[in-house]
Amino acid sequence: MRYNRMTIQDFIGLLGFISICLVTGAGAGWFTAAGVDAWYDHLRKPAFNPPKWIFAPVWTVLYILMAIAAFLVWRETGLWHVAMALFFFQLLLNFAWSFIFFSAHKIGFALADIIMLWLAIVVTMVAFAEVSAPAAWLFAPYLAWVSFAMRRCPMAAEEPLIVWAARNTS
């Protein structure tokens, strides 16, 4: 791993990754905002569900950490590397979850998406670790938050997961 000064290309790359992640987050936030008051607020949620105001700052930090991690890997591998493909795949799953859950109201499909997202994050971390240990560790808070989000899925704590998912896919 190289630890020399950033070049102008590096700086542009970092800004590009930050932009991609924040635009993805803004799009996901748009779908979220459209469904929160009209639908999400009326769902049964666990007692440990955090207040709504915490999500925007947490996700902003997570998207910036993801961007820095991707930048660190890109700086070593370039864009056309399996680790970068995994990064963009998990980012797509991340974006899709907000649409599926908040706009389409397909809780079961959203659960399937978030499980795939969790797995994609783990695989991305493994791929990143082969290139840059700091990049892999920058994904740890994201993995923790998504793990927590999986547990927060409405009603998931009150019945077997497979029964809950089957009942909530239509």
Distance CA 5, CA 24 (A): 28
Domain boundaries, the chain: 8-37+48-167
Instruction: State which residues of the chain have pLDDT below 50.
Output: 155-157
The fold of 8-37+48-167 is: Ferritin (1.20.1260)
Are the C-beta atoms of 87 and 139 separated by less than 8 Å?
no
Distance CA 143, CA 74 (A): 20
For the entire predicted model, the pTM comes to: 0.86
State residue 150's pLDDT score: 82
State residue 148's pLDDT score: 87
Q: How far is CA 72 from the centre of its chain?
A: 18
* Measured CA distances, 141 to 61, 80, 91, 97, 170 (Å): 9, 26, 15, 18, 32
| Tokens of residue 139, six digits | 């994904």
State residue 157's pLDDT score: 40
- The conformational region for residue 77 under phi > 0 = left, psi -120 to 50 = alpha, else beta, is alpha
